[in-house]
């Protein structure tokens, strides 16, 4: 099936021993985190995969398991390792969730950068999701949560509920194993985020076993902070983090 423009996977190949996996979020596209990927691509090898079900039809997100996304990022990691020996992983939203999963299962990773990652969602309908997903295919989208009105996120116009249920299944898996994360972790969290609450940052910070960990609070961005007013802060601090730990 043809992939829509803006959703394509991309790579940067550099004469560096350092590589960074850059992961996008649920219903979003590779372009959502591309400002970070493009910035890092000036210096390092970068691999940014398209997660299964994205860039085709929104209905495709109702036909998969979270294990498909794990396979996507594991495959991209293998590809990146062919040209880089020192690997970091960075992710936005559910991409951050997947980044933590990789850190739990790959102690050889040198560091993790997560931006407004999703593990906990405060929504009164969430307990009913196992039933609702069989009754309602989708609900209105939560994408394009950007303070900078000059920016528009490429993403689906709705949120498929069966796929969302898989996001939450993955969250349960990741939360259980958070103490296995020992790598340095840099957490970016927008103080005003209309998709995931601030507790995601503190919850993760308190449960990972990393000796080197930091929360950077963003004051001028919403959920898609990689495209928002604070993107330069994210880019530069991520670069500094990688240089420090590589």
Catalytic residue among 193, 210, 221, 228: 193
Query: Was domain 10-245 assigned CATH 1.10.1200.10?
Result: no
> Per-domain residue ranges for the chain?
10-245
Catalytic residue among 24, 54, 117, 223: 223
Catalytic residue among 31, 93, 138, 221: 93
Mean predicted confidence (pLDDT) in 105-122: 96
pLDDT level of residue 81 (50, 70, 90 thresholds): very high
Alpha-carbon dihedral sign for residues 112, 149, 52, 17: negative
Residue 193 designated active-site: yes
The pLDDT tens digits of the residues spanning 149-203 come to: 999 999 999 999 999 999 999 999 999 999 999 999 999 999 999 999 999 999 9
CA pair distance 33, 29, nearest whole angstrom: 8
pLDDT level of residue 222 (50, 70, 90 thresholds): very high
CB atoms within 10 A of CB 149: 6
Residues 6+ apart with CB under 8 A from 4: 55, 56
């Amino acid at each position: 099936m043809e992939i829509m423009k803006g959703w394509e996977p991309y790579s940067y190949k550099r004469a560096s021993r350092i590589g960074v996996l850059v992961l996008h979020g649920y219903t979003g596209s590779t372009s959502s985190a591309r400002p970070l990927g493009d910035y890092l691509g000036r210096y390092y090898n970068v691999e940014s995969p398209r997660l299964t079900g994205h860039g085709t039809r929104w209905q495709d997100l109702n036909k998969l398991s979270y294990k498909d996304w794990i396979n996507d990022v594991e495959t991209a990691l293998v590809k990146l390792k062919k040209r880089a020996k020192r690997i970091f992983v960075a992710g936005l939203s559910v991409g951050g969730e997947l980044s933590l999963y990789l850190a739990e299962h790959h102690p050889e990773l040198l560091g993790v950068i997560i931006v407004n990652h999703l593990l906990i969602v405060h929504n009164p309908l969430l307990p009913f999701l196992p039933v609702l997903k069989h009754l309602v295919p989708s609900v209105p989208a939560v994408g394009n949560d950007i303070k900078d009105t000059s920016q528009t996120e490429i993403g689906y116009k709705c949120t498929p509920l069966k796929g969302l249920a898989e996001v939450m299944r993955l969250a349960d898996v990741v939360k259980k194993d958070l103490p296995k994360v020992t790598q340095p972790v840099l957490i970016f969290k927008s103080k005003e985020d209309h998709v995931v609450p601030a507790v995601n940052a503190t919850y993760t910070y308190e449960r990972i076993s990393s000796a080197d960990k930091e929360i950077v609070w963003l004051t001028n961005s919403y959920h898609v902070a990689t495209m928002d007013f604070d993107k330069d802060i994210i880019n530069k601090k991520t670069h500094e983090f990688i240089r420090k730990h590589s």
